[in-house]
A and B are shown apart, each in its own frame.
Chain A
Amino acid sequence: MGAGQRINLQGNHACALGAIAAGCRFYAGYPITPSSDVAERMALELPKVGGVFIQMEDEIASMGAIIGASMGGAKVMTATSGPGFSLKQENLGYACMVEVPCVIVDVMRGGPSTGMPTRPAQGDIMQARWGTHGDHPIVVLAPSSVSEAFSETIRAFNIAETLRTPVVLLYDEVVGHLVETVQVPDPGSVARAERKWATGAREAFQPYAATDDDIPAMARPGDGYRCHATGLTHGERGLPTQNPAEVERAMQRLLGKLERHRDVIDRFETFAAEDAEILVVAIGITARAAKRAVAEARRQGIAAGLFRPVTLWPFPEQPFRALAERAKAILVPEMNAGQLSLEIERLSGRPAKVARINRLSGEPIEPAEILKTIEELARHGR
């Protein structure tokens, strides 16, 4: 990133500006607290770059619209919060199946149902992974600061475009509404990934061909390929199929596509984690509290460390496993009843050593609480 400028930004606005910087030119959304600022900022910014903002009749329509626009060739985004995210799930699944690049922002609030619209939570971790039905590939990025809201949005677009996949940007209300100073790079200095467009003879073109990188080139309407896109299981020609071998092959490629490109996807942050005996794993605003707790613990001589998956899904398993093996205990603080901890227990190899701090009150978890638990773990083990 170039020099740019430092400005004070709210997390949601940072997300919107990140999207613009990444080349987003189409936004469709429906108001929902605490995500509405994203839409408002997009409505303000998109016309300036010749993009289109539209407020649709609901979240389903917003999701449909961005997929439609993306199939037309645009870089697209929508933002919502838990209830709206639920509504988007069917079309999100369509985007996975048809491999349509798009970015979906979910600013988490208290739930389930209408819950606490203005209070933070981290209850959509599993919905972000398994929200739509059926096995499907999905990338979920979890920024924990305003600055990251900006940069991870850019990364979300680049992953989406590169890998032809929907990318969910998942952060909590605190990150969304937090105002921090952000280094915003100059326009043009942001590295933007572009979709692999179909080229060459139409006759030879197959819209879902298993290419070397498992990422099929996309045909842009009007370029002469006249392809078919369908949410039905389809073969390499894009046409519906129920041929078992063909279906198996297509689904294996679809699901394997992200694994093959973990280098593009994976991102995580560690803090004092190399020799940590007590490893804290957290995302979003909770990770920031955890980081402070870990720093204080170290100051007290406790070998604590932090592992923060910035790419939440697919979970950066390999780096985590390496740290987890060494740790005596793992602590997962999260603003939910225990979603991330499920994955951590699975990956830790020894679920018994995973401790949790769960918060459902709508209040963020304080560093002191985390520190207290670290101290207890250090005293008593697990």
Chain B
Amino acid sequence: MAAEGIDEFDIRDYLRTELLPHFMCPGCGHGIALRALLWAVHEERIAKDQLAIVTGIGCSGRVGGYIDANTFHVTHGRPLTFATGLALARPDLEVVVITGDGDCLAIGGNHLIHACRRNLRMTCLMLNNEIYGMTGGQVSPTTSEARLTTTTPYGNAEPTFDACGLAAAAGAGLVGRGMTLQTVALKNLIREALAYRGFSFVEILSDCTEIFGRKNDLGSSPEMILRQKGSMRPDFYGNTVEHPFRPNNLTTGIIARNERPEYGDTYRSEVLAPHGHGGAAAGVSAPVE
């Protein structure tokens, strides 16, 4: 499917194909999410050289390595901080952060809220698979209640995080949620996020089949991907079978939009310009003199 006037998208053009097949498990949703991102990048006509991917630690963190772009695989929970420095220093780059539910909300939760507050132009994709997959399946801030993980062997007793609600409340410019089942919609959502001048946060519901799915008896990969919309089931006749699923009602699409000035713009106009510096996208990487 090619958007008008754009060459047909071939994902191989955006991958370090020599590294494939990737390390992710069979049926892992992260691959689909990656396709959606690269597809959106293609349709937004972002040059690979200008694309900077910053990823944290975890399965989501490893996604970046397959992208034929400037990729930075940084420390656990901190990709937003690295991206903040990068985006401030290099406003000419398209900075995209790929993070996971644990990376972004647990260890990196503080950075998320401040990145949202700051509204510095970048796109943050949080791949939510409800689990710490890389470390073998421990409970994460988004693990649904009652779910089994290696650290909740008797069922998760903690309530879960609504990442989008958090981001919206923290003032993120654009907040959206998509799911891997809906690749095209997800791609379109990411396009909006990429095009947004400010901090955009996209939560992507992505399945961990091999660890989370198996542990919780959620079925095969196709079953899990279909389950992403399971909560759409009508309750007008009462649900005859109870089964907990993702608690956050699965609203997808754009969830919030806070029209606020982009931080970099503000910094350049309010702080740098009075000193005779800072064009629209002036960076600080080049030697000044």
Contact = CB atoms under 8 A, between A and B. Distances in A.
Contact of B284 (A50, A221, A225): A50
A50 B288 contact: yes
Given A91-B78, A227-B71, A67 B85 contact: yes
Interface string B87-108: 1111011000000000000000
Contacts of A67: 74, 82, 85
Interface of B: 16, 19, 48-50, 52, 54, 64-65, 68-76, 78-90, 92-93, 110-111, 114, 267, 271-272, 274-275, 277-278, 282-289
Interface in A340-374: none
Given A221-B70, A226-B68, A69 B88 contact: yes
A246 interface: no
A72 B272 contact: no
B19 A239 contact: yes
Contacts of A230: 65, 72-73
A89 to B, nearest CB: 11
Nearest to B289: A188
Interface of A: 23, 25-26, 28, 47-54, 56-58, 60-74, 76, 90-91, 94, 188, 192, 194, 219-232, 239-240
Contacts of B272: 47, 50
A220 B87 CA distance: 14
B72 A71 contact: yes
A56 B70 contact: no
Contacts of B76: 90
Given A61-B111, A221-B52, A52 B89 contact: yes
Given A58-B110, A221-B70, A69 B284 contact: yes
A73 B48 CA distance: 18
Listed residue (A226, A227, A239) with the most chain B CB atoms within 10 angstroms of its CB: A226
Contacts of B83: 68
Contacts of A219: 70
Contacts of B78: 60-61, 64, 91
A63 B93 CA distance: 20
A93 to B, nearest CB: 8
Nearest to B117: A57
B277 A94 contact: no
A47 B271 contact: yes
Given A58-B110, A72-B283, A227-B71, A64 B90 contact: no
Contacts of B50: 221-222
B89 A72 contact: yes
Contacts of B71: 226-229
Contacts of B74: 64, 67-68, 91, 94, 229, 231
A48 B288 contact: no
A64 B75 contact: yes
B86 A68 contact: yes
A54 B84 contact: yes
Contacts of B271: 47, 53
A65 B277 contact: no
Given A47-B277, A50-B275, A66-B85, A72 B90 contact: yes
B89 to A, nearest CB: 4
